[in-house]
């Protein structure tokens, strides 16, 4: 009897010791994988949606020159807990770019922790397997950038709050799958604090996990309900912070004057309206979904809870397809349910990477060569990669037979893996590093102009910046030119107003009263086809400065400041040629 007690005590001690070991090993491997992944994607400060985030960090809405700027004032109501915490904190931060990089890395780290935890449910438990699994994820093409048919951020190259939620969402699914519904509820609460609509997407997957566990009699309804309730109570303070942010907005829930769906069609329908999604994106998401389904549902070893979560993610997306045909409510449509394709991508990548890792475990089995092919094909971007991975899965899962593989198959498998590691992976890293360099050069130019403007122009100065359609229409446009169009850091660096750009239209979702201003200004600016017309328009509207791409043939005269590729003109001090052309343009516009 004493021997039995001693044995039981040893088992309990081993289990207790394994818990911290599991988390330490998982965290260590996640740090390594995050470093590789960041090297693969690169990091750029000040891109795209940072146009909204940087003014919040700088607290520009508190500065007098912005008191009537609809775009900047709307950012007071950007109700993500991340930005509510960082609001007007630049004065306390030594380096905002460094802060963004740290947050960017931590965001990627949380994602890999979530992936590794969920992978443990699929048999990826050994250290070697965790490393292999993580490397496969680092170079999985359909995790790079944005999700198909929804444009949700995955492994992108700049920091934004939504991508933090990717890893937390995976943790919520993991905890629910393990029956830890209190922890799952807390994870959903944290997700709500980061990005409220992301938390809404998680409810059906976690609910279906609960139903799965109930059907297997692994838990009772009372147990699940009580644990969820305790978890929700624990994270209630976080939820109240975000809800207060929403409700403090006097225009919360109001549609723009032309209707919310019509506005989305003008601005960015990709998160909400399936009929505005390209056929290529729909096919791409279908391919990702099929790969995930094959990897999760065909092997008998796959965790049933993860299957339930996958079905829940697909259900959310299907609801998102239907909702715009049922309601025009801004509150409901702002849940961006098509963007939940992010979760489908995450779970599909988890499933296929875990399956490939498990097949690679024993290089003498007949699954070794197919696993090697999957590792290579996952690095291929677009339909080709998705199609090849699907073909391998269908062939193998229909014909798989246990037993040793012929030696030539093992040799071919090693050659395929070598091709992936020595060719495909370095090429992917080189592509990311090269694009990062181009974007950082462009951001540096915009930051330089911003610093010049802050030191050499009145605080009330307004700038007219290049418009996207002008760049797109030029035959000589390059990636560098496109990067230069992303002036997200300019307003943050300069503390000077920008007249209008397309991206600012998103503020109409926060404060619909800004829509008429944005729409009328953007319509006017899009009709200007030359620097002279832009100068005339700026002069007529009290805009003191115009920024243009110096490659324009008209930009050699009247430049008051320039970088390598950007030129600044003043409507007051432009050269005689510019003034003459602007005068003629003003007459044409007036006529």
pLDDT in tens, 409-449: 888 989 999 999 999 999 999 998 988 888 888 889 999 99
Lowest mean pLDDT among 123-132, 287-296, 461-470: 461-470
Lowest mean pLDDT among 164-168, 170-174, 471-475, 571-575: 471-475
pLDDT, average across residues 106-135? 96
Q: Which residues contact 428 (CB under 8 A, 6 or more apart)?
A: 40, 139, 379
Structural contact between residues 562 and 550, judged by C-beta atoms closer than 8 angstroms: yes
- Is pLDDT larger for residue 193 or for residue 437? 193
Cα of 183 vs its chain's centroid, Å: 25
Which of 347, 323, 322 has its CA nearest to residue 334? 323
Name the pTM for this structure. 0.90
- Is pLDDT larger for residue 198 or for residue 4? 198
Model confidence over 49-98: pLDDT tens digits? Answer: 899 999 999 999 999 999 999 999 999 999 899 999 999 999 998 899 99
Residue 28 has pLDDT above 80, yes or no: yes
CA angle centred on 35, ends 31 and 37, rounded to 5°? 115
Structural contact between residues 34 and 105, judged by C-beta atoms closer than 8 angstroms: yes
305: Cα within 13 Å, side-chain hemisphere: 26
Structural contact between residues 507 and 263, judged by C-beta atoms closer than 8 angstroms: no
Six-digit token string for 301: 């070893």
Residue 405 has pLDDT above 80, yes or no: no
- What radius of gyration, in Å, describes the C-alpha atoms of the chain? 27
Model confidence over 378-389: pLDDT tens digits? Answer: 999 988 999 999
Residue 186 has pLDDT above 70, yes or no: yes
Residue 311 has pLDDT above 80, yes or no: yes
Six-digit token string for 39: 């090297």
Q: How far apart are CA 125 and CA 151, in angstroms?
A: 32
Which of 342, 330, 112 has its CA nearest to residue 205? 342
Torsional class of 250: left (φ above 0), alpha (ψ -120 to 50), beta (otherwise): alpha
Model confidence over 448-469: pLDDT tens digits? Answer: 999 999 999 999 999 999 865 4
Q: Where are the alpha helices (DSSP H) in 42-145?
A: 50-58, 70-74, 81-86, 96-120, 127-138
| Res 556: pLDDT | 56
Model confidence over 526-558: pLDDT tens digits? Answer: 899 888 899 999 999 999 999 988 865 555 568
Residue 13 has pLDDT above 70, yes or no: no
- Is pLDDT larger for residue 575 or for residue 342? 342
Question: pLDDT-based confidence at 475, cuts 50/70/90?
Answer: very low
Sheet holding 566-570, edge to edge: 497-498, 462-464, 545-549, 566-570, 559-562
Which of 488, 184, 439, 481 has its CA nearest to residue 312? 184
Question: pLDDT-based confidence at 22, cuts 50/70/90?
Answer: confident
| Res 170: pLDDT | 97
Q: What is the largest CA-CA distance in the chain?
A: 103
Question: pLDDT-based confidence at 256, cuts 50/70/90?
Answer: confident
Lowest mean pLDDT among 6-20, 240-254, 274-288, 473-487: 6-20
Torsion angle of C-alpha atoms 469, 474, 479, 481, degrees rounded to 10: -70
DSSP 274-295: GGGS-HHHHHHHHHHHHHHHHH
Cα of 258 vs its chain's centroid, Å: 29
Question: pLDDT-based confidence at 476, cuts 50/70/90?
Answer: very low
The H or E element containing residue 545 is strand 545-549
């Amino acid at each position: 009897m004493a021997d039995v007690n001693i044995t039981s005590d040893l088992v309990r001690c081993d289990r207790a010791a394994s818990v911290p070991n599991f988390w330490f090993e998982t965290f260590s491997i996640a740090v390594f994988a995050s470093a590789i992944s960041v090297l693969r994607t690169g990091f750029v400060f000040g891109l795209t949606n940072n146009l909204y985030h940087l003014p919040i960090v700088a607290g520009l809405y508190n500065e007098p020159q912005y008191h009537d700027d609809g775009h900047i004032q709307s950012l007071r109501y950007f109700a993500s807990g991340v930005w509510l915490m960082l609001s007007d904190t630049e004065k306390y931060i030594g380096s905002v770019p460094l802060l963004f990089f740290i947050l960017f890395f931590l965001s990627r780290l949380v994602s890999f922790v979530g992936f590794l935890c969920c992978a443990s449910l699929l048999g990826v438990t050994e250290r070697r397997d965790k490393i292999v699994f993580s490397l496969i994820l680092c170079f999985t093409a359909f995790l790079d950038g944005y999700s198909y048919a929804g444009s949700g951020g995955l492994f992108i190259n700049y920091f934004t709050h939504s991508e933090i939620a990717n890893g937390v969402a995976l943790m919520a699914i993991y905890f629910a799958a393990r029956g830890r519904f209190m922890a799952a509820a807390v994870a959903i609460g944290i997700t709500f604090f980061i990005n409220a609509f992301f938390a809404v997407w998680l409810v059906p997957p976690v609910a279906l996990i609960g139903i799965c566990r109930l059907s297997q009699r692994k838990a009772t309804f009372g147990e699940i309900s009580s644990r969820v309730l305790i978890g929700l109570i624990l994270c209630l303070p976080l939820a109240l912070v975000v809800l207060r942010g929403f409700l403090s907005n006097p225009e919360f829930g109001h549609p723009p004057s032309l209707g919310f769906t019509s506005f989305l069609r003008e601005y960015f329908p990709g998160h909400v309206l399936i009929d505005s999604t390209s056929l290529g994106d729909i096919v791409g998401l279908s391919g990702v979904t099929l790969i995930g389904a094959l990897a999760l549902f065909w092997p008998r070893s796959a965790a049933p809870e993860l299957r339930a979560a996958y079905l829940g993610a697909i259900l959310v997306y299907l609801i998102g397809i239907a909702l715009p045909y049922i309601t025009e409510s801004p509150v409901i449509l702002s849940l961006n349910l098509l963007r939940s394709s992010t979760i489908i991508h995450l779970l599909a990548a988890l499933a296929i990477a875990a399956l490939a890792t498990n097949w690679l475990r024993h290089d003498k089995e007949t699954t070794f060569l197919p696993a090697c092919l999957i590792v290579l094909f996952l690095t291929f971007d677009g339909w080709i990669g998705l199609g090849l991975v699907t073909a391998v899965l269908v062939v193998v899962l229909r014909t798989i037979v246990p037993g040793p593989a012929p030696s030539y198959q093992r040799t071919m498998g090693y050659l395929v893996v070598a091709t992936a590691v020595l060719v495909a992976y370095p090429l992917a890293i080189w592509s990311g590093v090269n694009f990062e360099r181009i974007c950082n050069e462009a951001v540096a130019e915009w930051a330089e102009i911003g610093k010049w403007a802050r030191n050499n122009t009145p605080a009330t100065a307004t700038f007219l910046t290049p418009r996207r359609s002008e760049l797109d229409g030029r035959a000589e446009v390059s990636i560098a030119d496109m990067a230069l169009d992303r002036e997200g850091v300019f307003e943050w660096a300069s503390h000077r107003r920008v007249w209008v750009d397309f991206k600012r239209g998103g503020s109409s979702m926060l404060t619909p009263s800004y829509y008429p201003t944005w729409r009328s200004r953007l319509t006017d600016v899009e009709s200007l086809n030359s620097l002279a017309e832009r100068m005339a328009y700026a002069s007529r509207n009290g805009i003191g400065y115009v920024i243009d791409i110096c490659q324009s043939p008209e930009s050699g005269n009247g430049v008051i400041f320039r970088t390598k590729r950007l030129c600044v003109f003043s409507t007051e001090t432009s050269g005689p040629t510019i003034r003459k052309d602007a005068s003629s343009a003003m007459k044409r516009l007036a006529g």
